[in-house]
Amino acid sequence: MDPEGPLRKDGRIFTRDKGDGKPVYGENLLEHDGFIYREWIPWRSKLGALFKKREDVPGLYGNILYLGAAQGTTVSHISDLLDDGIIYAVEFSPVAFRKLVAIAKNRKNIVPILADAFHPERYRAMVPVVDIIYQDVSQKDQVGMFAKNATMFLKKGGSGFLMLKARSVDVTARPEDIFNIASKELKKEGFEVEAVEDLSPFQVDHAAILVTLP
């Protein structure tokens, strides 16, 4: 893990670029101490929103299974922060995947995987046991997907970041109720829920549920 985490400057956050020094998704660049940093925009990334809201985000280290990588916006910032380890980035939309592959070409620590994360057995041969699972998919059964992947890949003592979109689970229910139900389901699946952080105003109706596997 980068011991410094993201750089915090004038109320904004940045990661030190490990790519080709160009913006990945239109973000601003900053030169600082002889390095190029990329601004992490909290309206574009739930993990960016979490870092904006909390100073004590659990460390990102080791091997990471990332479910719902899309075009690689958040993946690129995790790639900047990782000292060692690999991000196994799963995405099932071929259009988003093409952009993800282009980003991975400029970096040494991203393995893009075109697959449906509801079927972890299909990428079992490509992914080792991991230290962290990060999930951000707008789907109905987000806890089910997370638990399935954790059973197959997450090591004991590992941690999870479940970015939950309340409206994908139930458009009619109050987001706080959805977050509570999801936390209870995660406990039933054997996880310890360490924190539930509402990501508004950056990501409305979304929460980050942080868990560990005892």
Ligand X SMILES: C[S@@+](CC[C@H](N)C(=O)[O-])C[C@H]1O[C@@H](n2cnc3c(N)ncnc32)[C@H](O)[C@@H]1O
Place of tokens 């406990």: 187
Question: For residue 182, which phi and psi values (nearest 5 degrees)?
Answer: -60, -40
Q: Is the dihedral of CA 176, 178, 183, 187 positive or negative?
A: positive
Taking contact as CB under 6 A, which single stretch among the options 15-23, 92-100, 175-183, 189-197 is the one that binds ligand X? 92-100
Q: What are the C-alpha distances in Å from 167 to residues 75, 109, 139, 205?
A: 23, 32, 9, 7
Decide if 86 contacts 109 (C-beta within 8 A). yes
Q: Which of 45/183 has CB closer to ligand X? A: 45
How far is the C-alpha of 2 from the C-alpha of 45, rounded, in Å? Answer: 19
Question: In the set 92, 141, 155, 193, which binds ligand X (CB under 6 A)?
Answer: 92
137 makes contact with ligand X (CB under 6 A): yes
Binding mask 145-184 for ligand X (x = CB under 6 A): ----------------------------------------
According to the binding rule CB under 6 A, does residue 212 interact with ligand X?
no
Work out how close the CB of 34 gets to ligand X at its nearest, in angstroms, rounded to a whole number.
Answer: 28
Looking at residue 126, its amino acid is M
Site for ligand X in 20-49 (CB under 6 A): 45-46
Nearer to ligand X, 144 or 192 (CB): 144
- Contact call for residue 136 and ligand X (CB under 6 A): yes
| Nearest CA among 124, 131, 146, 119 for reference residue 78 | 131
Nearest residue (beta carbon) to ligand X: 68
* Residues near ligand X (CB under 6 A): 45-46, 68-70, 73-74, 90-93, 96, 116-118, 136-139
